[in-house]
A and B are shown apart, each in its own frame.
Chain A
Amino acid sequence: MPQGDYIDLHRKRYGYRLDHFERKRKKEAREVHKRSQIAQKALGIKGKMFAKKRYAEKAQMKKTLAMHEESSTRRKVDDDVSKGAVPAYLLDRENTTRAKVLSNTIKQKRKEKAGKWEVPLPKVRPVAEDEMFKVLRTGKRKTKQWKRMITKATFVGPAFTRKPPKYERFIRPSGLRFTKAHVTHPELKCTFNLDIIGVKKNPNGQMYTSLGVMTRGTIIEVNVSELGLVTPAGKVVWGKYAQVTNNPENDGCINAVLLV
């Protein structure tokens, strides 16, 4: 039930102030100057935020103005003659173009043999060992330096148990273990939060692959059963490869792109 109509009620009964419209007009006219004053005087973070907002507004205004200025013109449409278009007196003859079509399976097999896959990030910055590992000093006098702690995001499977602490050389801290990845489908353009099944290949070396380290450019296998993909044969696809596109240790999450 409308309870905010006391203003309208008052206006209905008593009307407006005698100078109401003039004041309103003048106040609106002054707004422009006030805004420019604020824009000039605002300093620091406030100023930057205001400037950004204002820039966006101006860009939008320019676009709308340009749109209004567009007029409908008549342009000549250039119809290109499509390739293979045949004049009417030759229509009956079938002109076949010969082309070699390779089947998809053969293509895939070739790629696999070559070891080259088409991935969104073909090249990544190499990660040095001292960036990847942090040396831990152990022993009574803290002189032994054979242990390493991994400073990047890792994946360990569900059946993972640590080696006895005395013997484990590479320590994967539990705070840096991730089990889920935000996977984007490149065509659908939507992102899903999918479980990681395993690390397939780390471009920095196969030691890292075996350790399960996930850096930028790593190929991981994700559980896509929730997407509901089906093979042409009728089988349900539940695992697919994806490539990591961010630096997980800097962002705290794994963003990947599905390899279709």
Chain B
Amino acid sequence: MVQYNFKNITVVPNGKDFIDIILSRTQRQTPTVVHKGYAISRLRQFYMRKVKYTQTNYYDKLSTIIDEFPRLDDIHPFYGDLLHVLYNKDHYKLALGQINTARNLISKIAKDYVRLLKYGDSLYRCKCLKVAALGRMCTVIKRVAPSLAYLEQIRQHMARLPSIDPNTRTILICGYPNVGKSSFINKITRADVDVQPYAFTTKSLFVGHTDYKYLRYQVIDTPGILDRPFEDRNIIEMCSITALAHLRAAVLFFLDISGSCGYTIAQQAALFHSIKSLFMNKPLTIVCNKTDLQPLEGISEEDKKLVMEMKAEAMKTVIGQGGEPTDDQGVLLTMSTLTEDGVIAVKNAACERLLDQRVEIKMKSKKINDCLNRFHVAIPKPRDQKERPPCIPQAVLEAKAKQAAEKEKRKTEKDLENENGGAGVYSASLKKNYILANDEWKEDVLPEILDGHNVYDFIDPDILQRLEELEQEEGLRQAEEVDDDFEMDGKELTPEEQQALAEIRKKKSLLIQQHRIKKSTAESRPIVPRKFDKDKQFTTRRMGRQLSALGLDPSKAIDRARSRSRGRKRERSPDNECGDAMDIDVDTPNKKLRMRSRSQSRSVSRPPGEVVPGEGFKDSAQKVKAQKLAKKSSKKRNKDARRGEADRVIPTLKPKHLFSGKRSTGKTDRR
């Protein structure tokens, strides 16, 4: 199926631009650097490539032109004739033929010069040959430039031709100039054809679409035709003649019975009779327009006779279609486009007749037999006169009636709204269906801010449950504390012993606390060797303290340690001189650890590991997962003692242990 869409033809460049495009493409897409000293085969290949590339490009572009322009013999005869009328078939074919010749010439040139390039023995010679080859190809195109310009003009014009489908339902409007054809098409379709009082306003075919019985019809408006011998017709009239000749359409012949178009009915009748040969096998309707100026009954006798003659002619087509000879309603119609009186009737009549004709043809064709057996509606033959209506059981009828009644009984919010004044006036009470403990609370207003806090932050649907749990825990904890105060061996402790016990307990609890902290942060704390300790925990003074706590004399050990250490800096930081035999200060020295242990303000009523849903997570599990992911992503960095993502410091670029020493046996070829 050839497409009638001529809009897809690629643009034809004009001669000079064509040459520029191809040459610049050659310059861009092929290698550009070559030197005198290269091997001769390489030089030859370099230049041969350029010649070949240019030829290929020319060939491709010219081939697209030749292929995309339609061949006048391959398309529907309507379009073939239309294009012939507009562009003159011979010129068109000549232009395309010239392009074809140019293409072949270019191929030949390229072949010859590639053959010559094989004998090139110097860079200069090869270059001259390439220049000559490209120059000759471009000269061929220069010579063919007028054809290219002509084809570009044709392409532009073709792209704007109206897209008329020659095979679908079509209504064709014809008649003298200025009889009201364009006004009619403006009325029944959305086409916006220029309507002016001078003749030949419409200079080309215009297409509009209209619907009838759920089918789409094409309506084609033609330029007016004058009554002239066939050879004298100009291009514009030839367009309409072509349309009439080739399209199988319903024809509406427009007649201006008021004569305001400037031509008498006699002239119009003469035209009708001269082109009636074109109306064969087409449902013809005579339409008398401008009845607001002159009704059909009021015309003179001769004119009426002429009109009746035309009607008789039109009746012949009805007979030819297989309609009844006496059926003359769709043949002669009157209307006025100005008052829109009878316009729809004309359209319906034309569509109806066209449809009938097409259906007739389809019925007669062979294809219909495939579908015919699908159209059968079986109706049983009545065997007697008894009336047999459809039977619906009584229960179903009752149920239906009840449903209908129910629908009416229930009052919807919409009904309420309509009763009370409509959409803008009545606002529905959204609170009336609230379920509350006390119904009087329904209309209460909930405050949003109280004492500077958002009330919503403190609302918890499970608050009562949580209160219960809290109280339970409190009770348990108090019970535990009471258990703590127990006596050892049933004896009372002396105050010193009690003090010692308290100290021991404190120390133990601190140790446990520190151990817990260490354990909890071990995952994300770098392992720092002892010599880099920031907190200055491992000092000689500490060692002295520990030793003296054990009862040993530390001074010698301290001296030994100090003599070993290299160039200690003077310590600026004040050493905590606490007399206790404790290594750890009362407050944990590491601020970070301190912060961590007094972790975020969390309500004490919650166990430490519990995760509250909130903050955008749909439940605790998701939040736990998110927290895990967060920890996981920072764990590695923390282990490496990096400050953050951006910390990419390499403390030693060449660690000695990796770059020293000889390599032992093994596969290596460098030592």
A201-260: which residues lie under 8 A (CB-CB) from chain B?
247, 249-253
Which B-chain residue is minimally distant from A44 (CB atoms)? B27
- Complex Cα spacing A249 to B118, Å: 11
Decide: A1 near B236, CB < 8 A? Known: A151-B121, A252-B112, A252-B116. yes
> Which B residues are in CB contact (< 8 Å) with A46?
24
Decide: A3 near B132, CB < 8 A? Known: A173-B119, A176-B116. no
Q: Contact: A176 with B119, CB < 8 Å?
A: yes
> Which B residues are in CB contact (< 8 Å) with A87?
none
Q: Contact: A45 with B239, CB < 8 Å?
A: no
Checking B124, B132, B156 against A252 with a beta-carbon cut-off of 8 angstroms, the contacting residue is: B132
> Which A residues are in CB contact (< 8 Å) with B27?
45
Q: Contact: A1 with B204, CB < 8 Å?
A: yes
> Which B residues are in CB contact (< 8 Å) with A175?
115-116, 118-119
B194 at the interface (CB under 8 A from A): yes
A131-162: which residues lie under 8 A (CB-CB) from chain B?
134, 151
Q: Contact: A9 with B128, CB < 8 Å?
A: no
> Which A residues are in CB contact (< 8 Å) with B161?
3
B362 at the interface (CB under 8 A from A): no
A4 at the interface (CB under 8 A from B): yes
- Complex Cα spacing A251 to B129, Å: 5
B205 at the interface (CB under 8 A from A): yes
B305 at the interface (CB under 8 A from A): no
B133 at the interface (CB under 8 A from A): yes
Q: Contact: A250 with B132, CB < 8 Å?
A: yes
A15 at the interface (CB under 8 A from B): no
What's the nearest-Cβ distance from chain B to residue A5, in Å? 8
Taken residue by residue from 101 to 133, chain A's Cβ proximity to chain B (1 for < 8 Å, 0 otherwise) reads as 000000000000000000000000000000000
- Complex Cα spacing A9 to B182, Å: 15
> Which A residues are in CB contact (< 8 Å) with B118?
175
B59 at the interface (CB under 8 A from A): no
> Which A residues are in CB contact (< 8 Å) with B203?
1-2
- Complex Cα spacing A175 to B116, Å: 6
What's the nearest-Cβ distance from chain A to residue B155, in Å? 12
B157 at the interface (CB under 8 A from A): yes
Q: Contact: A1 with B24, CB < 8 Å?
A: no
Checking A9, A45, A134, A173 against B24 with a beta-carbon cut-off of 8 angstroms, the contacting residue is: A45
> Which B residues are in CB contact (< 8 Å) with A49?
20
> Which A residues are in CB contact (< 8 Å) with B112?
252
Number of chain B residues whose Cβ lies closer than 8 Å to a Cβ of chain A: 30
Q: Contact: B125 with A250, CB < 8 Å?
A: yes
Checking B24, B115, B129, B204 against A2 with a beta-carbon cut-off of 8 angstroms, the contacting residue is: B204
Q: Contact: B157 with A3, CB < 8 Å?
A: yes
- Complex Cα spacing A46 to B27, Å: 11
> Which A residues are in CB contact (< 8 Å) with B239?
1
Q: Contact: A251 with B86, CB < 8 Å?
A: no
Number of chain A residues whose Cβ lies closer than 8 Å to a Cβ of chain B: 19
- Complex Cα spacing A221 to B124, Å: 29
> Which A residues are in CB contact (< 8 Å) with B162?
3
- Complex Cα spacing A236 to B113, Å: 36
Q: Contact: A252 with B204, CB < 8 Å?
A: no
- Complex Cα spacing A49 to B115, Å: 31
B69-123: which residues lie under 8 A (CB-CB) from chain A?
86, 112-113, 115-116, 118-119, 121
B2-35: which residues lie under 8 A (CB-CB) from chain A?
20, 24, 27
B160 at the interface (CB under 8 A from A): yes
> Which B residues are in CB contact (< 8 Å) with A247?
128
> Which B residues are in CB contact (< 8 Å) with A253?
132
Q: Contact: A252 with B236, CB < 8 Å?
A: no
A158-186: which residues lie under 8 A (CB-CB) from chain B?
173, 175-176
Q: Contact: B128 with A250, CB < 8 Å?
A: yes
Q: Contact: B86 with A1, CB < 8 Å?
A: yes
Q: Which of A1, A173, A250 has the most CB of B within 10 A?
A: A1
> Which A residues are in CB contact (< 8 Å) with B20?
49
Taken residue by residue from 648 to 660, chain B's Cβ proximity to chain A (1 for < 8 Å, 0 otherwise) reads as 0000000000000
B558 at the interface (CB under 8 A from A): no
- Complex Cα spacing A250 to B119, Å: 10
Which B-chain residue is minimally distant from A46 (CB atoms)? B24
> Which A residues are in CB contact (< 8 Å) with B205?
1
A1-29: which residues lie under 8 A (CB-CB) from chain B?
1-4, 9
> Which A residues are in CB contact (< 8 Å) with B156?
4
> Which B residues are in CB contact (< 8 Å) with A251?
128-129, 132
> Which A residues are in CB contact (< 8 Å) with B129?
250-252
> Which B residues are in CB contact (< 8 Å) with A9?
194
Which B-chain residue is minimally distant from A247 (CB atoms)? B128
Taken residue by residue from 157 to 197, chain B's Cβ proximity to chain A (1 for < 8 Å, 0 otherwise) reads as 10011100000000000000000000000000000001000
B62 at the interface (CB under 8 A from A): no
Q: Which of B124, B132, B223 has the most CB of A within 10 A?
A: B132
- Complex Cα spacing A151 to B40, Å: 14
Q: Contact: B119 with A252, CB < 8 Å?
A: no
> Which B residues are in CB contact (< 8 Å) with A252?
112-113, 116, 129, 132-133
B235 at the interface (CB under 8 A from A): yes
- Complex Cα spacing A24 to B223, Å: 36
> Which B residues are in CB contact (< 8 Å) with A45?
24, 27
Taken residue by residue from 223 to 249, chain B's Cβ proximity to chain A (1 for < 8 Å, 0 otherwise) reads as 100000000000110010000000000
- Complex Cα spacing A4 to B157, Å: 8
- Complex Cα spacing A250 to B127, Å: 8
> Which B residues are in CB contact (< 8 Å) with A1?
86, 203-205, 223, 235-236, 239
Which A-chain residue is minimally distant from B128 (CB atoms)? A250
> Which A residues are in CB contact (< 8 Å) with B194?
9
What's the nearest-Cβ distance from chain B to residue A1, in Å? 3
What's the nearest-Cβ distance from chain A to residue B156, in Å? 7
- Complex Cα spacing A30 to B42, Å: 50
What's the nearest-Cβ distance from chain B to residue A193, in Å? 13
- Complex Cα spacing A49 to B20, Å: 10
- Complex Cα spacing A4 to B235, Å: 17
- Complex Cα spacing A234 to B157, Å: 57
Q: Contact: B119 with A151, CB < 8 Å?
A: yes
What's the nearest-Cβ distance from chain A to residue B230, in Å? 19
Which B-chain residue is minimally distant from A173 (CB atoms)? B119
- Complex Cα spacing A2 to B112, Å: 46
> Which A residues are in CB contact (< 8 Å) with B119?
151, 173, 175-176, 249
Taken residue by residue from 584 to 621, chain B's Cβ proximity to chain A (1 for < 8 Å, 0 otherwise) reads as 00000000000000000000000000000000000000
> Which A residues are in CB contact (< 8 Å) with B113?
252
- Complex Cα spacing A25 to B193, Å: 32
What's the nearest-Cβ distance from chain B to residue A45, in Å? 6
- Complex Cα spacing A9 to B156, Å: 18
Checking B125, B133, B160 against A249 with a beta-carbon cut-off of 8 angstroms, the contacting residue is: B125
- Complex Cα spacing A253 to B223, Å: 57
> Which B residues are in CB contact (< 8 Å) with A249?
119, 125
- Complex Cα spacing A156 to B204, Å: 64
Q: Which 10 A-B pairs have the closest CB atoms?
A: A1-B204, A3-B160, A250-B128, A251-B132, A252-B116, A175-B115, A252-B132, A1-B203, A250-B125, A252-B113
Interchain Cβ contacts under 8 Å between A and B, 12 examples: A1-B205, A2-B203, A3-B160, A3-B161, A3-B162, A4-B160, A45-B24, A175-B115, A176-B116, A250-B132, A251-B132, A252-B132
- Given contact pairs A1-B86, A134-B121, A253-B132, enumerate 8 new A-B contacts (beta carbons under 8 Å): A1-B203, A1-B235, A2-B204, A3-B162, A46-B24, A49-B20, A250-B129, A251-B129
